[in-house]
Amino acid sequence: MLEWEDNATAVRYCPDHDEYSGFNVDTEVATAGSPFITKILRKTTMIRYSLLGTVLLVPGAFADTTLTFEDQRPDAAPTTTNLVIKGNVIGIIDHADTERLVAVFKRSDSSFTFINHQHRQYTVISEAWMAEATQRTKAAMKRMEGQMQKQMENIPPQYRGMVQQGRMMMPMMAPMMSGASAPMPARTYMPYGMENIGGFSCRRIDVMESGKKVQQLCVTNAAGLKIPSSDHATFQAMLGVTERLANQGLFSFGFKTPTVVQSGGNTQGIPVIIKDLKTHSTVTLQETSFETVDADTLQPPKDYLEAKIPLPVM
């Protein structure tokens, strides 16, 4: 039997049984010097696994991460949302909607899939689609403006004022035609200290709009949640895509995402708490859990139809 230690965790290898076992070095002493293990993280519970099977070194290392948030509002009952992170995909499960999947974020193409269970449909909105929609809308508006200019040349002078008013309204019509709305107000994020909330160590941030505080956040990182750094990166990618799509009019189409998904891509962390000073709502991270999730559960049901939003004609 070989024994060695790395930091605060010891590992014992028994060739006769072809297995490893881990134990805390606070109670047992191990001898150092194994070439087989490069890094073993602290874990106080016993770990046993076959050399021929999957190696589990830390909680969630080969499982999927689920973050559970609770949203409390003064005028409604609390609601719970699960964000299930599986690789480059995040499934958003709304417990208010009979615990069903309501949206899916895909990091691979910077897209959201919004699921309408009532109509058994789903719609995919990606950054690429939104960019094309914006480009097509601008081209359509430019064509319309050219047509109106030609009409100006052929109509009696007393009617030209009406056409001119129409031309002046066109910049306002463009966002309406593409589904876009006014961009979200520019935000400034001001970190100012650390705090421990619900057992999570987090960095406090004030969110400012036009010099006025609108939100108070406390965010943590992958180490603070004991989740893989890749899951943290996928979460950050989702926040960034949400913010950019929102500025291009995502929510004008009627789609909704939980408050935590809209917490902003510049926070560089996962929110432990969000206090919204406009709505007087509070979103808190309740727990993190680790369990392997079937990839099919993070997709629209197979019998649902895709409802595509038509793009403006070029």
Q: Which residue(s) pair with 271 in the sheet? A: 219
Half-sphere exposure in the Cβ direction for 128 (13 Å, CA) = 7
Which token pair is 236? Answer: 């950050």
User: Mind listing the pLDDT tens digit of every residue in the chain (314 residues)?
Assistant: 333 333 334 434 343 443 334 433 333 333 334 333 333 333 333 333 333 333 344 454 569 999 999 999 998 899 999 999 999 999 999 887 667 899 999 999 999 999 999 999 999 999 999 888 878 877 777 777 777 777 666 777 766 666 666 555 555 445 444 444 455 677 888 998 999 998 999 999 999 988 899 999 999 999 999 999 999 999 999 999 998 888 887 887 788 888 899 877 678 899 999 999 999 999 999 999 999 999 999 999 999 999 998 876 66
* Angstrom distances, CA of residue 178 to CA of 112, 246, 252: 18, 13, 9
Residues 49/55, Cβ–Cβ less than 8 Å = yes
Burial of residue 77, with CB atoms counted within 10 A of its CB: 0-12 exposed, 13-18 middle, 19 or more buried: exposed
What's the confidence (pLDDT) of residue 132?
Answer: 86
Q: How far apart are CA 217 and CA 207, in angstroms?
A: 7
Domain ranges of the chain: 2-50
Burial class (CB in 10 A: 0-12, 13-18, 19+), 150: exposed
* CA gap 309, 53 in Å, rounded: 47
pLDDT of residue 13: 36
Q: How many residues are present in the chain?
A: 314
Q: 11 and 24 in contact (C-beta within 8 Å)?
A: no
**For helices 127-154 and 157-178, angle between their N-to-C axes, nearest 10 degrees:** 170
CA distances from residue 234 to 43, 179, 248 in whole angstroms, order as listed: 26, 27, 21
3-state SS, residue 77: strand
pLDDT of residue 15: 39
Q: Which of 14, 9, 19 is CA-nearest to residue 40?
A: 9
Query: What are the φ and ψ backbone dihedral angles of 312, each rounded to 5 degrees?
Result: -60, 145
What was the pLDDT predicted at 14? 41
